[in-house]
Chains A and B, each alone.
Chain A
Amino acid sequence: MSRIASCFEALAAQGRKALIPFVTAGDPSPAVTVPLMHAMVEAGVDVIELGVPFSDPMADGPVIQLASQRALAAGASLQGVLDMVAEFRQRNTTTPVVLMGYLNPVEAMGYETFARNAVAAGVDGALLVDLPPEEAEAVAPVFREQGLAQIYLIAPTTTEERMARIAEAGSGYLYYVSLKGVTGSAALNVDEVAVKVETIRKHAKLPIGVGFGIKDAASARAIAKVADGVVVGSALVQRIADYADQPDQIPTQVAGLLAEMRAAMDKSD
């Protein structure tokens, strides 16, 4: 069984939900990322989403755009991100790692080379933000053959018909974007999310993670009640930005935020 599937299965058996942090790889510098990943695992996260920096992050808000810029300025590249995952795997062979980013760097590397190198480095899945299932005909068989999960987004505007199609095409887990807008947007309506997640469940057997708008222990706890996983990104990336000039503080700072979320998610009523 894949690392992602075993992870969600074990959590389900314990009646717990996945805490899934997103951080941009190489932000603010390459040396920060691997220690940060280990610190996040120690804080109780279940899956790590690692952002692959891109020059034109069209679907991201200012916080993650700036993270991409910092990482690129510090020399980040897709191959560099794969090397970080390989280094992380020297000490951690169980926590699933998913790359999240845009298609063009993957195209530049080549689908086949990317999928093979990613799996060899210990990557479990990839979420290519600007690659909907309609355009994934060439990519999907390559990922499937290499055993790289293809994670798709579902949005508040996604029709039920498309939900079914996306659920069919996706593997690993589904990522429900809880808000219209870019990453880091503001308000979150948990009741609306709950309704949507139930609709998605009618069409999907995969676990459902929910992201966008989760920024603290309270929102993480609320989403954990309705979804299988809670994705938190901009809140962490903002903390990294705040400590960009004291990079040795970053793992502790981010782990602190995540530990609060973990505790809130696991607390019984």
Chain B
Amino acid sequence: MSERPDYAAFPDAGGHFGQFGGRFVSETLMAALAELEQTYLALRDDPVFLAEFDRDLANYVGRPSPLYLAERWSRELGGAQIFLKREDLNHTGSHKVNNTVGQALVAKRMGKPRVIAETGAGQHGVATATVAARLGLKCQVYMGAEDVERQKLNVYRMKLLGAEVIPVSAGSATLKDAMNEAMRDWVTNVDDTFYIIGTVAGPHPYPMMVRDFHRVIGREARAQHLEQTGRLPDALLACVGGGSNAIGLFHPFLEDESVALYGVEAGGDGIETGRHAAPLGGGRPGVLHGNRTYLMEDADGQIIPTHSISAGLDYPGVGPEHAWLKDIGRASYVSVTDAETLAAFRELTLVEGIMPALESAHALAYARKLAPTMGKEQSIIVNLSGRGDKDIHTVAAIDGINF
């Protein structure tokens, strides 16, 4: 990279990050997206809106989330100091709530009485149901039938919060199919419905808007790290499915070129087996769900099934800004396997008393590899994007325990 891009200038007016992003949707959605874009562009500079958002983040979400130095774990790994950005301590247990609080405020401004969402692991669904309950909005959440089965706890949480969970059995019955179904719902009910997309993918303005709502993660982490150590970290690590927690952490550091950025994709059984969910590592550019990005697809351009131990990363695409950051070389995208993820899950739980979500455990698994290659005077921030309670059934099943 010879010349540093002006990161703040992306996306362009059409929602493009280089060749990625954009607005590839049916004409039936163009007006709704234009309306959303106009509303959001006005709100993002509106001090009243921003103050309301900050107040909700502080008093409802519980921000700032701590930046915690995992001293014992760092010592055991014998290299860089590892700091954990504790998004797991947010209300509802993951970073997802930053975005749903923001989008719900937009929905309220637009006067939409009903919100819909897609969800994979259920974290975004829970975060959406939560803000809908608080604002008295009708809420329906689309969830792949397979995910409904493997994330029963979150399904029940959503029901308790007053949301209706609609299982989607079309296609592969996972996150991508839930997103297809939510889009279909939105097209049909666009007059009274706001679609709260849970990641930095989808048609413009979603990747930009969702990123903006999650930037608080990186803004806080940068200030906290400076305060605790007097310097910037050497590397940032975050798991990448759609990539919302990663972009939230990375974005405020893009211009800090000394800070290396690592997005960790779901390697499943290993990239070489084909059974994975790592489009940046094992896919190619294409168009799905309203944006151009890296996709898992076959030679005919059909989207292929993905595999990951973690429902939240089981998605064949990735946010377009990540695709761009990969191509311009600003961020590196790596992957870890299900087995490595599980080992990191167990290790953090035992060594630090923090049980991470399996999604976040992907980033931890890569930290286990990266930290020992670095000096003790160096530091890493890992985004601990969610807590692991929801995954206890999955881990227990692997251990042969049935509740």
Cα distance, A130 to B27, chains bound together (Å): 8
Residue numbers in A under 8 Å from B290 (CB-CB)? 130
Tell which of A58, A132, A134 touches B183, judged by Cβ atoms closer than 8 Å: A58
- B302 on the A face (CB < 8 A): yes
Q: Which residue of A lies closest to B14 (CB)?
A: A134
Contact B26–A78 (Cβ < 8 Å): no
Tell which of B22, B187, B288, B301 touches A181, judged by Cβ atoms closer than 8 Å: B187
Q: Which residue of A lies closest to B24 (CB)?
A: A130
Q: Which residue of B lies closest to A101 (CB)?
A: B301
Contact B171–A55 (Cβ < 8 Å): yes
- B314 on the A face (CB < 8 A): no
Residue numbers in A under 8 Å from B287 (CB-CB)? 102-104, 107, 130
Q: Which residue of A lies closest to B177 (CB)?
A: A56
- B303 on the A face (CB < 8 A): yes
- A157 on the B face (CB < 8 A): yes
Interface centre among A103, A104, A131, by most chain B C-beta atoms within 10 angstroms, is A104
User: Which residues of chain B from 182 to 236 have a CB within 8 Å of any chain A CB?
Assistant: 183-184, 187-191
Residue numbers in B under 8 Å from A257 (CB-CB)? none
User: Which residues of chain B from 276 to 313 have a CB within 8 Å of any chain A CB?
Assistant: 285-290, 295, 297, 299-304
Residue numbers in A under 8 Å from B332 (CB-CB)? none
User: Which residues of chain B from 163 to 184 have a CB within 8 Å of any chain A CB?
Assistant: 170-171, 176-177, 180, 183-184
Contact B30–A132 (Cβ < 8 Å): yes
Chain A min CB distance to B305 (Å): 9
Say yes or no: A153-B171 contact (C-beta < 8 A), given A55-B302, A58-B180, A104-B301.
Answer: no
Interface residues as binary, A77-109 with B (CB distance below 8 Å gives 1, 0 otherwise): 111000000000000000000000011111111
- A232 on the B face (CB < 8 A): no
Cα distance, A155 to B33, chains bound together (Å): 13
Chain B min CB distance to A141 (Å): 17
- A129 on the B face (CB < 8 A): yes
Cα distance, A261 to B180, chains bound together (Å): 32
- B32 on the A face (CB < 8 A): yes
Interface residues as binary, A117-141 with B (CB distance below 8 Å gives 1, 0 otherwise): 0000000000001111011000000
- A162 on the B face (CB < 8 A): yes
Say yes or no: A78-B27 contact (C-beta < 8 A), given A134-B14, A180-B190, A182-B188.
Answer: no
Residue numbers in A under 8 Å from B304 (CB-CB)? 55
Q: Which residue of B lies closest to A80 (CB)?
A: B300
Q: Which residue of A lies closest to B183 (CB)?
A: A58
- A166 on the B face (CB < 8 A): yes
Contact A130–B26 (Cβ < 8 Å): yes
Contact A105–B28 (Cβ < 8 Å): no
Cα distance, A130 to B303, chains bound together (Å): 15
Contact B176–A56 (Cβ < 8 Å): yes
Cα distance, A195 to B366, chains bound together (Å): 60
Contact B28–A180 (Cβ < 8 Å): yes
Interface residues on B, range: 35 or more
Interface residues as binary, A190-210 with B (CB distance below 8 Å gives 1, 0 otherwise): 000000000000000000000
Q: Which residue of B lies closest to A154 (CB)?
A: B27
Tell which of B176, B183, B187 touches A180, judged by Cβ atoms closer than 8 Å: B187
Q: Which residue of A lies closest to B181 (CB)?
A: A58
Tell which of B187, B190, B299 touches A108, judged by Cβ atoms closer than 8 Å: B299
User: Which residues of chain A from 135 to 166 have a CB within 8 Å of any chain B CB?
Assistant: 135, 152-159, 162, 166
Contact B30–A104 (Cβ < 8 Å): no
Contact B26–A72 (Cβ < 8 Å): no
- A171 on the B face (CB < 8 A): no
Contact A108–B286 (Cβ < 8 Å): yes
Contact A131–B24 (Cβ < 8 Å): yes
Residue numbers in B under 8 Å from A108 (CB-CB)? 286, 297, 299-301
Contact B24–A105 (Cβ < 8 Å): no
Interface residues as binary, A56-90 with B (CB distance below 8 Å gives 1, 0 otherwise): 11111110010001001000011100000000000
Chain A min CB distance to B294 (Å): 12
Residue numbers in B under 8 Å from A240 (CB-CB)? none
- B23 on the A face (CB < 8 A): yes
Say yes or no: A153-B28 contact (C-beta < 8 A), given A61-B184, A103-B287.
Answer: yes
Contact B31–A157 (Cβ < 8 Å): yes
Cα distance, A242 to B31, chains bound together (Å): 36
Contact B301–A105 (Cβ < 8 Å): yes
- B25 on the A face (CB < 8 A): yes
Say yes or no: A177-B28 contact (C-beta < 8 A), given A103-B287, A157-B190, A182-B184.
Answer: yes
Contact A130–B25 (Cβ < 8 Å): yes
Contact B303–A56 (Cβ < 8 Å): yes
Residue numbers in A under 8 Å from B191 (CB-CB)? 180
- A185 on the B face (CB < 8 A): yes
Residue numbers in A under 8 Å from B176 (CB-CB)? 56
Contact B32–A157 (Cβ < 8 Å): yes
Cα distance, A162 to B29, chains bound together (Å): 13
Residue numbers in A under 8 Å from B28 (CB-CB)? 59, 153, 155-157, 177, 180-181
- A8 on the B face (CB < 8 A): no
Cα distance, A56 to B315, chains bound together (Å): 13
Binding site for B on A (CB under 8 A): 54-62, 65, 69, 72, 77-79, 102-109, 129-132, 134-135, 152-159, 162, 166, 177, 180-182, 185
Sample 8 A-B pairs with CB under 8 A, ordered by A number.
Answer: A56-B171, A62-B170, A102-B287, A130-B287, A132-B27, A157-B190, A180-B191, A185-B188
